Amino acid sequence: MAVTRHPTRRDVVRGAAVVAAAALARPALAQAAARIAVIGGGFGGAACARALRRLDANLQVTLIEPNKIFTACPFSNEVIAGLREISAQQFSYDKVAADGITVAAQAATKVDAQARTVTLSDGATLSYDRLVLAPGIDMHFDGLPGYDEAAAEKMPHAWTAGAQTMLLRRQLEAMDDGGLVVIAVPAAPLRCPPAPYERASLIAHYLKAKKPKSKILVLDAKDNYSQQKLFEKAWAELYPGMIERIALSQGGRVTSVDPATGEIVTDFGNYTAAVANVIPPQRAGRIADIAGAADHTGWCPIDPVTFASKLVPNIHVIGDAAIAGGIPKSASAAAAQGRACAAAIVNALAGKPPETPRLDGACYNTVAPGYAFSLKGIYQPKEDQYAEAEVTTSPVDAPREVRQREAEQALDWFRTITGDAFG
């Protein structure tokens, strides 16, 4: 689909309808190749765009993504801990473009759901028949007093991979031995729910080797978290006495921060961090709100079978931005949603009834080199929401060989998901 300032096809069709009867306009619509715009070139958006072309090579698919290079979040905690270079996280859209997808290196600034147009940052307007929103997350700065974009330069969230990842790594490298690293964890929903604990583990791995007098304090707005027993066992085994966690019911919820002093305030205490990793509350990427697809929660309600927005017509929402019930906001779940959404769109364009998706999601947590565990889930719509159909978590008691094998599987998994999306 070409970026154009010409009259939209809808306008042309509308004009034609004045002459032709409505019944005649409809076959004309069906014959022309449908135009699908996908906003957001992460795992969900890239998987969706590619699946659309694979399912129907006639579709005109445009992927709208301002970054020319994608930086993947999975495994970025290893970059923070100095175990991996950021370049290993980065992928271009060359192969996506080679699939016949138009890659528009622009930000989407406006969506007009009635006119079915997207405005890009260069001012161009693009018409669509169906729009897929895969904008991921934005930080919800209003949700944490004292924290904003400027504060994130002092107290990095590192919850979108790239410059923030490197900033947190440099701060850890510059910290004196004996420093306190504080990780502030927001309440659910958040991107990649077990990642704060993986991060605590890998930072502990770095500190144990380089700055052994240092400590990590996790201030948590949750009481329980994914794979908690596995993490707690690993911490006792690998990093005894290094990681302390204060849960919600022990007063762990962070209520404000002061980037000038490094102070982090909870309902019941004040903490001064040498390095503060403040992960704020999140919401769907801003374009979802602009499009009218986000509700009062900041996230996007969807029909679980088709990913169609419940708020705006002809728009589908996938990945972290969607309210997807039991599905965690993770890379592989976003990719699975992208593929299922593509199938739903192709079916709808062909006038076929939707098929009920069955989505796979996997999530690996690496707590030290050669030590990983995982959660694998299958998710299906139940009533009006996604539910876990089957979830398998690594056994809590398992020999180190099992953890070693899972660490290798984690690398394979990363190669597979990044290959599917960008390779």
Partner 1 sequence: MPSALINVPKKARRGDVIEIKTLMSHIMETGYRHTASGDVVARDIITSFTCRFNGQEVFRADLFPAIAANPFITFFTTATESGKFEFEWIGDKGFSETAQASITVE
Distance between CA 390 and CA 53 in Å, rounded? 30
Nearer to partner 1, 129 or 258 (CB): 258
Nearer to partner 1, 142 or 223 (CB): 223
Residues 6 or more apart from 98 whose CB is under 8 A from it?
none
Candidate list 212, 251, 395, 419; residue touching partner 1; CB under 8 A: 251
Nearer to partner 1, 58 or 224 (CB): 224
Inter-residue contact 75 to 88 (CB < 8 Å) = yes
Q: Is the dihedral of CA 3, 9, 10, 11 positive or negative?
A: positive
Q: Which amino acid, residue 23?
A: A
Q: Does residue 145 bind partner 1 (CB under 8 A)?
A: no
Q: Which span sits near partner 1 by CB under 8 A: 16-24, 175-183, 249-257, 289-297?
A: 249-257
Candidate list 250, 404, 409, 416; residue touching partner 1; CB under 8 A: 250
Q: Does residue 228 bind partner 1 (CB under 8 A)?
A: no
Distance between CA 183 and CA 344 in Å, rounded? 40
Q: Which span sits near partner 1 by CB under 8 A: 96-104, 243-251, 330-338, 385-393?
A: 243-251
Give the number of residues written for the chain.
423
Q: Does residue 267 bind partner 1 (CB under 8 A)?
A: yes
Q: Which span sits near partner 1 by CB under 8 A: 81-89, 123-131, 244-252, 370-378?
A: 244-252
Candidate list 16, 248, 305, 398; residue touching partner 1; CB under 8 A: 248
Nearer to partner 1, 159 or 231 (CB): 231
Instruction: Provide the 8-state DSSP code for 181.
Output: E
CB of 213 to partner 1, least distance (A): 25
Residues 6 or more apart from 170 whose CB is under 8 A from it?
none
Nearer to partner 1, 50 or 253 (CB): 253
Q: How far is CA 350 from CA 29, 61, 223, 273, in A?
A: 11, 16, 47, 57
Q: Does residue 419 bind partner 1 (CB under 8 A)?
A: no
Q: Does residue 90 bind partner 1 (CB under 8 A)?
A: no
Q: Where are the beta strands (DSSP E) in 206-297?
A: 215-220, 243-246, 254-258, 263-266, 270-272, 275-278, 282-284
Candidate list 6, 97, 142, 268; residue touching partner 1; CB under 8 A: 268
Nearer to partner 1, 113 or 265 (CB): 265
Q: DSSP letters of 271-333?
A: EE-SEEEE---EEE-HHHHHTT---TTSSEEB-TTT-BBSSSTTEEE-GGGEE-TTS-B-HHH
Q: Does residue 412 bind partner 1 (CB under 8 A)?
A: no
- Number of DSSP helices (H) and strands (E) in the chain, helices first: 11, 24
Q: Does residue 423 bind partner 1 (CB under 8 A)?
A: no
Candidate list 249, 261, 272, 356; residue touching partner 1; CB under 8 A: 249
Nearer to partner 1, 223 or 237 (CB): 223
- Give the residue among 186, 168, 193, 194 at the shortest CA–CA distance from 254: 186
Nearer to partner 1, 26 or 268 (CB): 268
Q: Please give the residue ranges that form the binding site for partner 1 (CB under 8 A).
A: 223, 248-251, 267-268
